[in-house]
Structure 1
Amino acid sequence: MTTDAPTPDGRPDDPAAAPDTPYALQYPCGEPPAPGEVREVAPGVLWLRMPLPFALNHINLWAVADEDEQGPGWAVIDTGTKTPEALAAWRQLISPEGPLAATPQGARITRIFCTHMHPDHVGMAGWLTRKFQCRLWMTRLEYLTCRTLVGDTGREAPEEAIQFYRQMGWNEEALDIYRTRFGGYGKYMHALPDSFRRLTDGETVRIGAHSWRVIVGRGHSPEHACLLSEELGVLVSGDQVLPRISSNVSVFPTEPDADPLADWIGSIEHLRATLSDELLVLPAHGEPFRGLHARLDRLAHGHERGLQRLRRSLAESPRRTVDVFGALFARSIDSNGELLGMATGEGVAHLNHLLVRGEAVREVGADGVYRYRLHGAG
């Protein structure tokens, strides 16, 4: 497994990708709580917010009233990164004078659910599970992938990763920056517990007074767990559905021929077909919203528009991965900047999708760099 830094969760929607139908979401829960504070958004469901040290500067967490053999407490969904700011917010939440202590459940945490393995979601899980002697609940692929990525901390960038990005058109300066940043994932992570409780797609989990069904989505991460309470009319969507940004869907050097975009599009279709449009959606970033079907439609439409622009670009002349950014993104991508890795991963995801569908052809130039063209063009 190879990574140079925690995977960004997404990018702003491309205005050119908007559907031709009216689009509006409702945000019924008001302003977000400050770090260390809470707001109830459904019976027994609290909204928490943690600061992040990235361009995307916050993550939403959720506490659900729970009870086990030791008594009442809170089941926490997602945890924030390992940073001094997140630690301070957690200490305020669980202090004797904190907002969790002021509830009938008290400041006790019964278990930790993590939707997926990115550090903003799982970074504080190890600290919390040890402090409260509680279990981590997570899908198997997310847990094992997380452990593997943490193992990269302190390593030199593998030659396979350097070769991958060179084939995508990176210059030597960008490769040197990648070498410097490689292995940064673990610095935002407390050590995970050595065991976990596996979540599986379709299973029902009882949290306190209500049942929650696990719905696995793919594309943004290997086995992302959403949690649905039909009784409460609530979906904890993590990064699988966000109200204002499109989740990052990338190919990484570990699996260079992967087609995560097919997984992502399939997950959108599955959620659209199986979930009610009346749900209150609790996302990891942004605010709780209603309008799930409209949001899913926009996400699907945005990727299809991007693929259409990509086809037109490849029909004009063969392109390197770094040459297709203008067809996919509304913002410019600095050839040596922080967005380069994310943009390259998404670019390869879209190109691989066309390769798998037989719509594009990949060729290796004399310089060893991949160039893509539309099938039958040039």
Structure 2
Amino acid sequence: MKPEVTYTFADLPGDGSAMRVADGVYWVRMPLPFALNHINLWLLEDGDGWTMVDTGIGGEKVRALWEQVFEGTLAGRPITRILVTHFHPDHMGQAGWLTGRWNAPIWMTQAEWLYARHQHSKDLAGRMEAGQAFYRRAGVPEAQLPALLQRFGRYREGVEPVPASYRRIFGGEEIRIGTRNWQVIIGEGHCPEHACLACPEDKLLISGDIVLPRISPNISLFPQEPDGDPLSRYLDCLGRFGHLPEDTLVLPSHDTPFTGLHARIDNLREHHKHRLDLILEACAGAPQTGLSVMQAMFTRELDSLQLGFAIGEALAHLNLLWRRGTLARTLGPDGVDRYTLA
């Protein structure tokens, strides 16, 4: 039987400070203006300097806290490399400022850098049009569309201008940081090409948003790829962590470090199996829309941001079942997709 998830640290790093979690590895915790109110960031000793993993959301508050960390932790050594796991604002937000602050390159996968550049662009018309069609097909009433679409242009609010050049990293690549070789493991589904960093020899994994200890990462369908299958890609990518020791210390982007990696991966797979079974049960009766399936999956009250994620998650599960041939999808004369058992 696999060991259950065990939380390794009773304390949290304070604002503007860093906590040592392993030799040469320091944990920084920055605030977020959401219900999920924090993100974990990592500083890795790297010879005469430091490598930073993820940057926090943009804005003066986080920038001021970083300056406190620099003063109290870096011991006079500079940030020499900024590695970003993926394009989301809480991970990418300060990258533009930090590259200028330290004259340090940004390292990330190609798909994540391209998505960041795309999302930061001022050209919203096409994205808004695609978003309207996407939510209408899911059965969202016209009155709810403006609240869902308002978030489409907000990426720039939490992200400094994205650097115009970067150093591309690849799945399977080994990156030497300090005395360790870190393997790049690509996670999919939560975003296109998320980079996790693993050091099997020292039993360390920077898991980003791919493996979180208590919540399931959001796996959503988005208007850019309405017939995509992000949930299959996510479930498949979990197998890429199978070679890591069970007692690996997992350093996630949210919550606290933990051990019990493989037990947690089993839990995540079971969570999505339960969701898929729930959807099949719902579709066994009357035809269901994306919105009605979302309402069966999420029974609590949701704000507009959470509603967008919830609809995306419902559609990701529906698309997996549709692409497998378990569900049939029919576009009605009202322009809404409806799902029934195949």
TM interval, shorter chain, is: over 0.9
Aligned to 1:82: 58
1:173 aligns with 2:140: no
Aligned to 1:205: 175
- Give the Cα–Cα distance (whole angstroms) in 1 for the partners of residues 256 and 96 of structure 2: 26
| Cα offsets for 1:35-58 (capped at 9, x unmatched) | 211110000000001001111100
| Cα offsets for 1:18-71 (capped at 9, x unmatched) | xxx89732112221101211110000000001001111100000000012xxxx
Per-residue deviation at 1:190?
A: 0.8
1:65-80 aligned within 5 A: 65-67=45-47, 72-80=48-56
Count of residue pairs the alignment pairs up: 342
From 43, 46, 57, give the equivalent of 1:63: 43
Asked if the contact 1:217/1:240 (under 8 Å) is kept, the reply is: yes
Aligned to 1:310: 279
| Cα offsets for 1:158-214 (capped at 9, x unmatched) | 322211111101111211223444311111111121111111011111001111111
Asked if the contact 1:75/1:110 (under 8 Å) is kept, the reply is: yes
Asked if the contact 1:242/1:285 (under 8 Å) is kept, the reply is: yes
Asked if the contact 2:3/2:260 (under 8 Å) is kept, the reply is: no
From 316, 321, 336, give the equivalent of 1:349: 316
Structure 1 unaligned blocks of 5 or more: 1-20
SS of residue paired to 1:116: coil
- Give the Cα–Cα distance (whole angstroms) in 2 for the partners of residues 366 and 242 of structure 1: 41
Asked if the contact 1:93/1:107 (under 8 Å) is kept, the reply is: no
SS of residue paired to 1:81: coil
From 8, 11, 14, give the equivalent of 1:34: 14
Task: Tell me: CA distance 1:153–1:36, structure 2 relative to 1, closer, same or farther (3 Å).
Answer: farther
| Cα offsets for 1:104-132 (capped at 9, x unmatched) | xx251010001111010010011111110
Aligned to 2:68: 92
1:280 aligns with 2:253: no
Aligned to 2:291: 322
Asked if the contact 2:190/2:234 (under 8 Å) is kept, the reply is: yes
Aligned to 1:6: none
Asked if the contact 1:108/1:132 (under 8 Å) is kept, the reply is: yes
- Give the Cα–Cα distance (whole angstroms) in 2 for the partners of residues 297 and 181 of structure 1: 33
Residue 208 of structure 1 aligns to which amino acid in structure 2? G
- Give the Cα–Cα distance (whole angstroms) in 2 for the partners of residues 186 and 23 of structure 1: 42
- Give the Cα–Cα distance (whole angstroms) in 2 for the partners of residues 232 and 58 of structure 1: 27
- Give the Cα–Cα distance (whole angstroms) in 1 for the partners of residues 123 and 310 of structure 2: 23
Per-residue deviation at 1:223?
A: 0.5
Per-residue deviation at 1:88?
A: 1.4
Per-residue deviation at 1:276?
A: 1.6
Aligned to 2:223: 253
- Give the Cα–Cα distance (whole angstroms) in 2 for the partners of residues 141 and 361 of structure 1: 31
Q: Larger helix proportion, structure 1 or 2?
A: 2
Asked if the contact 1:168/1:320 (under 8 Å) is kept, the reply is: yes
- Give the Cα–Cα distance (whole angstroms) in 2 for the partners of residues 44 and 115 of structure 1: 19
Structure 2 unaligned blocks of 5 or more: none
Per-residue deviation at 1:151?
A: 1.1
Asked if the contact 2:171/2:184 (under 8 Å) is kept, the reply is: yes
Per-residue deviation at 1:337?
A: 3.1
What is the TM-score normalised by the length of structure 2? Answer: 0.96
Asked if the contact 1:277/1:292 (under 8 Å) is kept, the reply is: yes
- Give the Cα–Cα distance (whole angstroms) in 1 for the partners of residues 246 and 171 of structure 2: 21
| Cα offsets for 1:248-298 (capped at 9, x unmatched) | 001111110000000011012332x22221100000000000000110000
Asked if the contact 1:215/1:226 (under 8 Å) is kept, the reply is: yes
Aligned to 2:261: 292
Residue 213 of structure 1 aligns to which amino acid in structure 2? Q
From 320, 337, 340, give the equivalent of 2:304: 337
